Amino acid sequence: MAKNPHVLRKCIQAGWGILSNAYVKGFLPGGSPIYKGELKRICVPGMNCYSCPGALGSCPIGSMQAVFDGRQRKFAFYVVGYLALIGLIVGRFVCGWLCLFGLIQELLYKIPTPKLKVPEKIDRPLRYLKYAVLFVMVFALPFFVRSEFGMGAPFFCKFVCPVGTLEGGIPLVLLNDAMRPALGWLFRWKFLLLIICILSSVFIYRPFCKYICPLGAFYALFQKVSLVKMHVDESACVNCGLCAKTCKMNVNPCKNPNSGECIRCRECINACPKHALSMGIREKGALGEKDISGVMEEKS
Amino acid sequence: MPTTCDIVATYFNFIWNSFRKDYERDGSVKKKIPTWVTIVLIFASIACMAFGIYRGEVDTVLTKAVNICMECIGLG
């Protein structure tokens, strides 16, 4: 396995992406266009369209809306509980390590072009947009807006999600001739959003994750209470600012190690010359709370 | 005798303060959220999941996921 931590993370992201889209028959002509097995009862932790020909699991955001927009207007206890459990254990770790769309954006950012730093005045308010997307497009609209037949719609998937277009729409349209005549304004709109997302990813680090992703917003709600947390050893920190410079999500790990924007990629930990940053499970309550790895180091 | 409203308000206040006072404006650590809050929330999320499974939401998810979602791919 790769010793370089950056390469290791990319390998895990890619490996997870392949594993969760391993239904090869979906990509072959003549077979079922998507996987229809029992595994789809379970949601994958990252953004992964369930209409992707290879998808073995369900998309959590799509599943949540599927329960909300049903005729009976149910609250999605299963998916919300499942995502809350992940968030409470690892926070946004999933964003940094187990999201295929995140990996795609990271790879696009590697294209050697001048990079754009979004001014803080614009960046800061835009960060809240993903929370608005979560509460309005994933929770409220599918739950409250009904058609004349009493059905809701998955508003986020339908009007915004570029992941569905990339992983589901484009492959299905390319593989199935019968779908092509059905392409209309909605596909063109979503395709345009995908292009914007891809182009902006070349210049801005993970723009979809920073500003739009409702799943990232959901996990971010649990970042400060999650079991696995970032820790700063204030006695070791020399405030050199290297961690903040390294962080591509524009977080200052020294000042706010468990910011909702942190995707726990560990790049700041690797960059810290004094090893003042660590990530681990908290040992005990408010006082005397320590990172287990830190305790082990002290003992040794 | 405290009313139900008082108890709820006390708990809400406690949780809200736990979040609010995690870090000072200058970034220094003021107070960390106790682990038991996380543990309680983990159990609550498991209970939430179990209730959803009991209600049959998993079947709703499966039904949606095994059919091509026309809205998701931009055809619906």
How many separate domains does chain B show?
A: 1
Cβ-contact A35, A26 below 8 angstroms: yes
pLDDT of residue A149: 81
How many Cα atoms occupy the beta-carbon half-sphere of A75 within 13 Å? 6
B interface mutation test: which of A78, A232, A243 has the most B CBs within 10 A?
A78
Quick one: DSSP state of residue A4? S
Q: What is the pLDDT along chain A (300 residues), one digit of tens a residue?
A: 456 788 999 999 999 999 999 999 998 877 788 999 999 999 999 999 999 999 999 999 999 999 987 777 789 999 999 999 999 999 999 999 999 999 999 999 999 999 998 999 999 999 999 999 999 999 999 989 888 888 888 999 999 999 999 999 999 988 888 888 888 899 999 999 999 999 999 999 999 999 999 999 999 999 999 999 999 988 899 999 999 999 999 999 999 999 999 999 999 999 999 999 999 885 433 334 444 444 444 444
Q: Which of A200, A220, A240 is the last residue of a domain?
A: A220
- Closest Cα of chain A to B16: distance in Å? 12
The domain of B42 spans 4-73
Q: Which of A175, A191, A220 is the last residue of a domain?
A: A220
Indicate which CATH number applies to the domain containing A274.
Answer: 3.30.70
- CA–CA gap between residue A293 and residue A90 (Å, rounded): 16
Helices (H), chain A: 5-19, 60-68, 77-90, 93-97, 100-109, 120-127, 129-132, 141-144, 155-159, 162-163, 170-175, 185-203, 207-211, 214-220, 242-246, 267-271, 292-299
ipTM at complex level: 0.85
Q: Which residue of A has its CA nearest to B59?
A: A41
Q: Which of A34, A88, A187 comes nearest B68 by C-beta? A: A34
Q: Which of A220, A242, A258 is the last residue of a domain?
A: A220
Which residues in chain A touch residue B52, judged by CB atoms under 8 angstroms apart?
A: 67, 76-81
Least confident of A211-220, A262-271, B6-15, B61-70: B6-15
The domain of A245 spans 228-299
Contact B22 A179 (CB under 8 A): no
How many separate domains does chain A show?
A: 2
- CA–CA gap between residue A84 and residue B46 (Å, rounded): 9
Contact A40 B51 (CB under 8 A): no
Q: Which of B33, B49, B51 comes nearest A85 by C-beta? A: B49
**Do A84 and A211 reside in the same domain of the chain?**
yes
CA distances from A68 to A159, A186, B23, B69 (A): 16, 22, 35, 15
pLDDT of residue A295: 43
